[in-house]
Structure 1
Amino acid sequence: MRSETIDYQADVPLSGTLFLPDGVGPAPGVLVFPDIFGYGDHALERAERLAGLGYAALAADLHGERRALAVEPAMAELQRFYEEPDRPGARGGAALAALAGHPGVDGARIAAIGFCYGGRLALEMARRGAPLAAVVGFHSSLVSSYPQGGGLIRGKILACIGSEDPGVPVEERTAFEAEMQAAGVDWQLHLYGGVYHTFTNWRADSWGHPDFARYDAGADRRSWAAMQALLAEVLGKE
C-alpha cells in the first residue's frame, strides 16, 4: 500500500490523501468524506483500511487545506452548508473528479462513503446524479436539500443509523424510505438497536455528550461489514 497527497480545486483549494492498494492495474475507487469537523484521523484510518481491501480510497477535504475545525466554527459551517448545498456539493464533485482522474484508479468504478455530515454529502451527490456505483452513509442525516429527491440516483444506497440517534429521528428515516421507494432506488437502511450518533468514531465517548454521541464497537463492526459486502457487489472486489 502507498499513499499520496492529491490537490484539487473547488471554491477553495482542497487537498486529500489517496491510499492506493498493492497490485497492478487501476483499482476501483472509494471517496471517504469525514464528518463536519473535517479532514482527520478517523477518515484517514477508514481510507487506509479500504486500501487494504483493494480499493483506491481518497480521504477527502471538506474545508480546504486539510483544515480540521473546532466545535463552534464547525457548527457555523454546517449551517452554511445546509443553506448553500451547492457549495459542499461542488467540493464533493471536485474530489470525485480528482479520484476518477488518477491513473491508479478505475474511473468507471467509484463509490462514496461518509460519516455524519460526510454521509449526507455523499447521499446528496447521488441525489444530484453523480456517477457513483454505491453510497454508504454512517450515522448521517437522511434529509435532502433537493426537491427531485432520489430520482437521479444511479447507484445503490446503504444508510447505517443508530436507533437512538437524536440527529436522525424516526420521521426522518420514514421520509427517506418513502423517497427511495418512490424513486425505485436499490436501497438499504440498517438500524442498530440502542445505538446513538457517531457510533463509528472511537473518540465520541470523550466528547462528554452520551445522550447524543457514543462509540459502539458492535455497530461499528457490523456497519463496516455491510459496507464491505455492498462495495464487493458493485465494485467487484472481495
Structure 2
Amino acid sequence: MDDTTNPASANRDSRLTRRGFATVTMATGVALAGAALAAEVIETDVTITTADGSCDAAYFHPAGKGKWPGVVIFTDILGLRPAFRDMGKRMAAAGYAVVVPNPFYRTRKAPVITGPFEFSNPTDRAKLTELVTPLTPGAKALDTAAYVAWLDQQPQVDAKKKIGTQGYCMGGLYTFLGAINHPTRVGAAGSFHGGGLVTDKPDSIHLQVGKAKAGFLVAIAEDDDAKQPEAKDKLRAAFAAAGATANVEVYGAKHGWCVKDGAVYSPAEAERAWAALTALYRQQLI
C-alpha cells in the first residue's frame, strides 16, 4: 500500500504500452458493454475552481432530464486519461453524476503523461516528481473539498443524496479525506490498491475514520498485502472502533489491477471490485 512519496513502487508492474492496451482488447465483453452504456451518457470537459487555481476535469451524467447522486473518481498517479474517462462514463451510465478531476492541475493539464511509460525506467519515474510534489496533505484536503462543493452546484446532482468517492492507488487516500472531512455529504468511499492508508504516524488517515459517516470498501492488492500485511488488520480495527460499515478485503491481483490500461489489469477481479463498489453506492448514497 505504497504512498505517492515512493512513485516507483506505486505501480511498478503497470505501464502504458502496447502490452497494456492488448490486455484491454482481450476483455471484449466488458468493453462492448461499456461502449453500449456510454451512448446514454453526456460527457463534458469542465473547470473546477479550487483554493490554488483551476482544475481541469471530465464530467459525466446520464442523458435526459433528472438528478442523480454525485460521485468523485480520484485517479492513480498517471492522472486523468482515457481509462479513467471510461470509468466515469460507466459509472454515469449506472445512474450517477460523475466528476473525474486532474489531480495534477497545479503542474499541467491532462493528460500529464503521454506516450509509453515504464515505472522501471528512472527517467520516466523522474517525470512524476514534479507532479506529486505540490500535493501536500493540505492541498489534497483543499482539492477534495472543492470537488465535493462543485458537484453539489451541478443541476444534474441530487444534493439530497450522499456523494460517493472512489480512488485508485494514490487516489485511495483522497476517498478517505472526502469521507472524514465531509461527513454530512460523503456517504461511501471506495479505495482500490490505495496507498498511504496506514502509517506509523499519529495522524495516519486510518486513525481518523471515526469522523466519517460513510460506508467504506478497501480493496487491497495481494502484493501490497505481502509488503504490509498488518495494514488490513489495523484498518479493520479502526473501522470496528468507529462502528463504521466497512469491507476490507485482499484481492487476488497485483497493485493496479482495476485500471484497464495497465499491464497487470485483471478483468475478473476488476469486475468483482466494481460490483462491490456499486453495491456499496446503492446502499449508502441515499
Partner of 1:196 in structure 2? 254
In structure 2, what residue type is equivalent to 1:73? K
The answer to whether the Cα contact below 8 Å between 2:71 and 2:165 also exists between their aligned partners in 1 is yes
* Structure 1 pair 26–95 and aligned structure 2 pair: CA distance change class (3 A): same
Partner of 1:66 in structure 2? 110
Q: Given the alignment, which residue of 59, 66, 76 partners 1:25?
A: 66
1:104 aligns with 2:156: yes
Between the aligned residues of both structures, percent identity stands at 24
Greater C-alpha radius of gyration:
2
Deviation at 1:229, TM superposition (A): 0.9
CA distance in 1 between counterparts of 2:285 and 2:211 reads: 20
Partner of 1:37 in structure 2? 78
Deviation at 1:169, TM superposition (A): 1.9
Partner of 2:269 in structure 1? 219
Partner of 1:182 in structure 2? 241
CA distance in 1 between counterparts of 2:126 and 2:145 reads: 26
CA distance in 2 between counterparts of 1:32 and 1:55 reads: 12
In structure 1, what residue type is equivalent to 2:228? P
- Give the match's secondary structure for 1:204: coil
- Give the match's secondary structure for 1:43: helix
Partner of 1:4 in structure 2? 44
Deviation at 1:143, TM superposition (A): 2.4
Between 149-158 and 123-132, the greater mean CA deviation after superposition? 123-132
The answer to whether the Cα contact below 8 Å between 2:144 and 2:177 also exists between their aligned partners in 1 is no
The answer to whether the Cα contact below 8 Å between 1:4 and 1:18 also exists between their aligned partners in 2 is yes
The answer to whether the Cα contact below 8 Å between 2:167 and 2:191 also exists between their aligned partners in 1 is yes
Deviation at 1:163, TM superposition (A): 2.1
Q: C-alpha root-mean-square deviation of aligned residues, in Å?
A: 2.1
TM norm structure 1: 0.86
Deviation at 1:230, TM superposition (A): 0.9
TM norm structure 2: 0.72
Number of residue equivalences: 225
| Higher relative contact order (CA closer than 8 Å, sequence separation 6+) | 2
* Structure 1 pair 103–22 and aligned structure 2 pair: CA distance change class (3 A): same
CA distance in 2 between counterparts of 1:94 and 1:38 reads: 18
Q: Given the alignment, which residue of 164, 168, 176 partners 1:115?
A: 168
